[in-house]
Structure 1
Amino acid sequence: MSEIASSLTNTTKPKTSATLTVRVIKSFKFRTEKSLVLHNIDLTTTTVAQLKETSRKAVQTQPGWKPYRNVQLDTLKLYTKAHGAKTSNLIINLDNDDWILRDDAKTLEDLGFENETEVSFFHLPDYTEFQKNPETSWAC
């Protein structure tokens, strides 16, 4: 392994103990999101459905998430992998709809997740509506 590859954070932790960032999106228009950092996720056994459930449970039970508790979180979409290119949109990658995680039975490893992968978690109808007119606003 090259010296550079061995120092990248996505390869320093085993796939059985990864750190993931879940961008929980409340509003696309107002760019309202909060990042949920999950530690010690086993990418080899954790499924998309389990990641959704873990994230929902954190939003419902952890302090600081009250404004997000009424959002119907139903869809995950890959945002970026560690050291990968990021989109210009600050909360979701509007390109690559094939990055939406539609198969709840797939493991995160099967989907190419690595340590420090970031995903967006949102309500699919809100995302579909935002795609039609991806304008953002500032709250008054």
Structure 2
Amino acid sequence: MSQEVTVTVRLVRSFAHRNFRPIVYHGVDLDQRVGEFMQHVKNDIVTRAGLPPPFKTYSYDKMKIIHQAHGSKTNELVVGLEEDNKLILHEEHTLRQAGVANETELALFCDQDYEAYKSNPVSAW
């Protein structure tokens, strides 16, 4: 039985500059694979009105859970740097298997940028 939920995806363009844009998706099927959902988001942002061009052409390749409804939030302003083994989604899993539920907030970002920021988490103001 598939369940459709609302999910917010935070497109992260720059960790150091805290440059991101949230997009809300309604009617997300939790039984689709993470890789399918990531591809859907990438296809959607290319034509989405109101999204600055740098966000549309960025090379996103990883997704991580930022926040679950009724859960605690991280102090990190863009994406929490802890618990990667638990919170980074694997493309072959379904969203449900990955722990996504209604009102989950996800980050979509470039893994190379994330690893660079994680090794030196300094904000550039």
Q: TM-score, normalised by structure 1?
A: 0.83
Alpha-carbon offset, residue 127 of structure 1: 0.3
**Is residue 48 from structure 1 mapped to residue 2 from structure 2 by the alignment?**
no
Question: In structure 2, what is the equivalent of residue 100 of structure 1?
Answer: 88
Name the Cα RMSD after superposition: 1.4
Match of 1:58 in 2: 44
Count of aligned pairs: 123
Structure 2 letter corresponding to 1:67:
P
1:68 matches 2:55: yes
**Match of 1:133?**
120
**Structure 1 residue identity aligned to 2:18:** R
Displacement after TM superposition at 1:15 (Å): 6.1
Cα deviation for residue 112 of structure 1 reads 1.8
Bigger Rg, structure 1 or 2: 1
CA contact (8 A) 2:46 2:57 kept: no
Equivalent residue runs for 1:82-101 within 5 Å? 82-98=69-85, 99-101=87-89
Alpha-carbon deviation of 1:67?
2.3
Q: Distance in 1 between matches of 2:69 and 2:2?
A: 14
Question: Which runs of no fewer than 5 residues in structure 2 stay unpaired?
Answer: none
Distance of 2:55 and 2:72 partners within structure 1: 28
SS in 1 for 2:49: coil
Q: After TM superposition, give the deviation of residue 70 of structure 1 in Å.
A: 2.4
| Secondary structure of the structure 2 residue equivalent to 1:73 | coil
Q: Percent identity?
A: 33
Corresponding residue for residue 16 of structure 2: 29
Q: Counterpart of 1:57 in structure 2: which amino acid?
A: N
User: Where is the strand percentage greater, Structure 1 or Structure 2?
Assistant: 2
* Separation (CA, whole Å) in 2 of partners of 1:114 and 1:15: 12
Offset at residue 105 of structure 1 (A): 1.8
Q: Does structure 2 conserve the Cα–Cα contact (< 8 Å) formed by 1:15 and 1:115?
A: no
Q: Runs of at least 4 residues of structure 1 off by over 3 A?
A: none
